Structures are given as structure tokens and as C-alpha cells.
Amino acid sequence: MAAQARPQLIGAPVAGFADEARRALERHPEARLVVFPELHLFGDGVPDLQREGALRGAAEPLDGPRVEALSALALELGVWLVPGSVCELGPHGELFNTQIVLSPEGRLAGSYRKIFPWRPHEPYEPGNRFVVVDLDGLGRVGLNICYDAWFPETTRQLAWMGAEVILNVVKTTTADRAQELVLARANAIVNQVFVVSVNCAGPTGMGRSIIVDPEGEALAEAPDAAPALLAADLDLAAVARVRTHGTAGVNRMWSQFRPGEPAIPLPVYQGRIDPATWQPATSPSESTGHVDVAPAPIRSTP
């Protein structure tokens, strides 16, 4: 379930968010994964660059009391919980925009620092690792934050690591949400994965959250910026089916190369596509974890 919601006020007790999550699950008790927008717990309507002091004041390390309280909430609800992203205080005082995944057992199952902050408007340091998390029966999800979707390297790398679903948490307050909907579909199509792009609701955000299947079809979509809950049953077998038979029964990008064909250099990444290893990971043990951002994007060797 994707919750297109208005941001909680920065510094507000986690109890308010807990009530919000409980109400969402009352409406969709069948949900096993609940995803909220980017920086959902850090809202006040002021652009991030203008409120860096407030963000730093609210930032905590991931072993701090905020994530501890959110972990307890995931345990109480018995669901996989992505409370958007949080302001993480790094070990040297850095400020990161970090997406977290909490398990139904109440543990921090994965975290991802946004690699592409929206420069020059955001005060965050960039992360340097891609992250895919195995959700124990719900598939493998790649973590992705807002502006990351504008860089095709990010979704391609996550798909190559074995992601079947891309969780793109968003806080788009500007007029480019229409283009982001195109990107959500395009990233799904060219990587043959599901994309869940959940934006914050108005008046802060532009809304229009969307869940897209591996062929680019919208399974659920919010028509406007009003608060909304999008629910969809993701048939993960569709990923293998589309990759086997082709998008629209035609295109099989992950089967593009034949054995023995030469590698294709990609100078912009100081890397290459090697036909010998140009294929996505297929097991949780292969796909879960992190890889360095450079020169990893689209590089064929781990």
C-alpha cells in the first residue's frame, strides 16, 4: 500500500505517525507493505535548503530513538513499513536523506542514503551505495528516493542487483510531477520491474502517486494531490514472465547479448557492459545488500 499523505510536522512525536499508519491499515488490513512519501516525518512547507538548521536539529543516527520507535510500530502492526525517508545524522556530522525499511519483526532491514540530492535545493550529502532488500515472501525491493528516478543508472543498477520492485519515495512540490510519471513508467519498462512512486499530498506536494507494472501499465494512480491510499496486488511472477517472453511479447533487454560477444565500454562510468554477466540477480542471497556507487552504475562486474 502506498500512502499519499500530507507530511507530519518536523519534530512531532512518532505517536502521530503511528496513528496515521494504524488508520491506513484499518482501511486496507490486507496490506503487508506500507510505504509513505519522502521525508514524511520532516514537513513544514519550507524548502529544505532554507530549513537546514531545523533538519539538523531533528536528525538522528539510525540507532537513535526515532528509528527505535518506528521499529516498534512495525512490530505492532506486523507489516513491512517504509516511513518514507528520514534525516540521518552521519558519524561525522553529515546530513543524509535516508530511506529505511522496517520488518514485521521490528528490525531495521535496510537503509539507503539518497545518491542524487536535488541540487542546489537540498542540503544533504549524497550516499554512495545502492540497496536492495529481500522482504521474505514479498519479493526484492530496490530503494530509491525522488530525484534518483531522473537518473536511469539508479533503477538499472537496482534491477541488475535483483530488485523486482522499485520503491521510489517522493516529495515533489514543483510542476515536474507530470514528467516524473513518465519516468516511473519508463523506468519500469526499460528494466522490466514494478515501480511504486509515492508522492506527498497537497498542499505541500503535487500528489499523483502511481504504481506501475513491468510493462509500464498503471495498476493504481492518484488523480490529484488529495490524500489517497493506493493498493495493488503485485504479481511478482510478472517480472520473470515479461523478461522471458518480452515486453508486449517482443523486447527482452536482459537477453540482448549472445555468449562470446565483446564487452561494450561505457566511458562515462569508467566501466562496461560485459555480455558474460549482463543479467539480473535471481536469488535473495545474490541481490540483497549494497554496492559502491562508482563505478557501479551499469557496470557488469560486481
Catalytic residues: 38, 114, 146
Q: Which helix (H) or strand (E) holds 168?
A: strand 165-169
Distances (CA, A) of 200 to 87, 145, 256: 16, 13, 38
Distance set, CA 209 to CA 122, 133, 177, 200, 295 (Å):
22, 22, 9, 8, 31
What is the DSSP-derived secondary structure letter of residue 126? P
- Backbone dihedral region for residue 259 (phi beyond 0: left; psi -120 to 50: alpha; all else: beta): beta
Q: Which of 174, 154, 159 has the alpha carbon at shortest distance from 114?
A: 154
Q: Count Cβ atoms within 10 A of the Cβ of residue 250 and give its class: 0-12 exposed, 13-18 middle, 19 or more buried.
A: exposed
Q: Which of 104, 149, 156, 154 is nearest to 128 (CA)?
A: 154
CA dist 217 and 231 (Å) reads: 15
- Residue 275's DSSP bridge partners are none
- Cell matching residue 40: 514524511
Strands (E), 25-158: 33-35, 80-82, 85-89, 95-102, 108-113, 129-134, 140-145
Cell of 275: 555480455
Helix axes 14-27, 65-77, angle to 10 degrees: 20
